[in-house]
Amino acid sequence: MPVYPWQTEVWQRLTGARQRLPHALLLQGRRGIGKRDFALALANWLLCQAPTPHGPCRHCRACHLLAVGNHADLRLIEPLEGEEEGRAVRQIAIAQVRELEDFVGLSTHQEGARVIVIHPAEAMNPAAANALLKTLEEPAENTVFLLVSHKPRQLLPTVVSRCRTVAMPLPDEEMARAWLESQGVIDARLCLALAGGAPLEALRYADGEYLAARGVFLAALGEPAKLDWLKLAEQGARQDLASQIDWLQKWLYDLVAVRLARRVRYNPDFAPRLRELGAGVKVEALLRFVRELEGVRRHLDHPLNPQLLLETVFLAYQRAVMTQNG
Ligand SMILES: [Zn+2]
C-alpha cells in the first residue's frame, strides 16, 4: 500500500533512521487524510524482511502475509460495538488491550519486529487507556506502537507523553485535487470543499446520487420562506439522517461565515444564495440553533421517530434563519 503524495516527506523522515525510531508513535491529524493507511504502510515496512527506503519490498514472506492480512506479528486494534449502562457504544475495550500484553510477551513469529496499530486511539475507554499505559511504560524489545488519532486532546496525557508525536499533513488544495482527479473524481473541487480539504473524506462524497440528494436538500434550505418543512421531513425520514444533519450543519457554518467573514467554505456551488441569505441573518439566532443541532446529532443513532425529529429541526431552522437583524 503506497503512502499518499502529501505524506512522502513524513515517510522519508520516519523511515530514514530505522534505528532511531521510537517504540511508540502518535500519528495525529484531522480525519480523512489517510493516517490509518499511513500507519499500516509503516507497519508493513517495519515487518518487511528486506525494506527499501521507498517502502516494503512486497516479495518477502512477511510482505506476502501482510498482503493477505495474515501476519502474526501485526495487531490492528479498532473499536468494537459494545454496551455500557444499557447503551450501545463503539469503543476500544480493556479486553482488546489486555490481549496485547500476551502478544508483546511472546517471541515474534518471523524473528523481526512486532507492530501494534491502534485506530483511533481516542476510542479507548479509560480502563483500556490505563492498561495500554502499563504496556507503553515497559517497552518490549523490537515492538512498535502506532497510535492514530483525530482527537489527540482526548487522549490521556500520560499516554501521549510516552509517544513521539507526528503531525500528519493535510495536502494543499492543488495536490488534493490532482490526487482526487487521478482517482476518477469528476467534481473534485466541490467534494474537497465538502470535506474541508481532507482528500479521503472527499472521496466518500464523490457519488452522483449523494451529491444530487444534497443539491435538492440545500436548494430547499436556500428558500426558507417557502420551506415546506412537513414535506421535507417526510422525504428525509426515508433517507440517511446523518447526511442531512451534516449538510445542515455545513450550511449553517457557511451562513455564519459569509456574514462574519464573507467567505464560503463547504458549499461553493451555493455561494451566491448563501451570500444573499447570509446578508440578513441574525448570527446569534443561528449560533443558538447550531448548538441545538449538536444535541440532536448526539442522538442520531437511534431516533424514535425520524420524521418528527426532522420536522422539529426544519422548523427550528426556518425560525433561526428568518430571524432578521432588526
Ligand atoms: Zn518485504
pLDDT of residue 111: 66
Looking up cell 448526539 gives 298
| Interacting residues of 305 by C-beta distance below 8 A, sequence separation 6+ | none
Instruction: Answer yes or no: CATH 3.40.50.300 is held by domain 5-169.
Output: yes
What's the gap in Å between 86 CA and the centre of ligand 1? 46
Grid coordinates belonging to 109: 513469529
Looking up cell 496485547 gives 100
| pLDDT tens, residue order, the chain (326 aa) | 579 999 999 999 999 888 888 999 999 999 999 999 999 999 999 999 999 888 899 999 999 999 998 888 999 999 998 877 777 788 999 999 999 888 887 666 666 789 999 999 999 999 999 999 988 988 888 899 999 999 999 999 999 999 999 999 999 999 999 999 999 999 999 999 999 999 999 999 999 999 999 999 999 999 999 999 899 999 999 999 999 999 999 999 999 999 998 899 999 999 999 999 999 899 999 999 999 998 888 777 777 788 999 999 999 999 999 887 54
pLDDT of residue 110: 61
What's the gap in Å between 51 CA and the centre of ligand 1? 6
Domain with CATH 3.40.50.300 in the chain: 5-169
Cβ atoms of 281 and 252 within 8 Å: the answer is: no
d(CA 260, CA 238): 35
What's the gap in Å between 60 CA and the centre of ligand 1? 4
Number of H-type helices and E-type strands within the chain: 15, 7
Burial of 111 (0-12, 13-18, 19+ CB in 10 A): exposed
Cβ atoms of 48 and 76 within 8 Å: the answer is: no
What's the gap in Å between 8 CA and the centre of ligand 1? 19
Looking up cell 444533519 gives 245
Q: Which of 52, 119, 46, 40 has the alpha carbon at shortest distance from 79? A: 119
What's the gap in Å between 57 CA and the centre of ligand 1? 4
Where does the chain show beta strands of DSSP type E? 24-28, 74-77, 80-84, 87-91, 114-118, 143-149, 164-167
What's the gap in Å between 58 CA and the centre of ligand 1? 5
Q: Which H helix or E strand runs over 288?
A: helix 283-298
d(CA 87, CA 82): 8
In single-letter form, the type of residue at position 230 comes to: L
What's the gap in Å between 114 CA and the centre of ligand 1? 14
Cβ atoms of 48 and 62 within 8 Å: the answer is: yes
pLDDT of residue 31: 95
d(CA 222, CA 277): 7
What's the gap in Å between 64 CA and the centre of ligand 1? 7
What's the gap in Å between 138 CA and the centre of ligand 1? 28
d(CA 274, CA 257): 10
Cβ atoms of 169 and 29 within 8 Å: the answer is: yes
What's the gap in Å between 61 CA and the centre of ligand 1? 7
What's the gap in Å between 74 CA and the centre of ligand 1? 14
207-322 fold = Zinc Finger, Delta Prime; domain 3 (1.20.272)
What's the gap in Å between 50 CA and the centre of ligand 1? 5
Compute CA distances 214 → 189, 202, 221, 253, 255, whole Å.
Answer: 15, 14, 11, 16, 16
Q: Which H helix or E strand runs over 132?
A: helix 126-137
Domain with CATH 1.20.272.10 in the chain: 207-322
What's the gap in Å between 224 CA and the centre of ligand 1? 59
Compute CA distances 175 → 115, 170, 179, 227, whole Å.
Answer: 31, 10, 6, 39
Grid coordinates belonging to 101: 500484553
- How many CA atoms within 13 Å lie on the side-chain side of 136? 25
Cβ atoms of 74 and 68 within 8 Å: the answer is: no
Q: At what angle do helices 241-261 and 306-322 cross, to 10 degrees?
A: 10
d(CA 186, CA 177): 10
pLDDT of residue 326: 47
Grid coordinates belonging to 276: 444573499
What's the gap in Å between 79 CA and the centre of ligand 1? 28
What's the gap in Å between 320 CA and the centre of ligand 1? 58
What's the gap in Å between 40 CA and the centre of ligand 1? 14
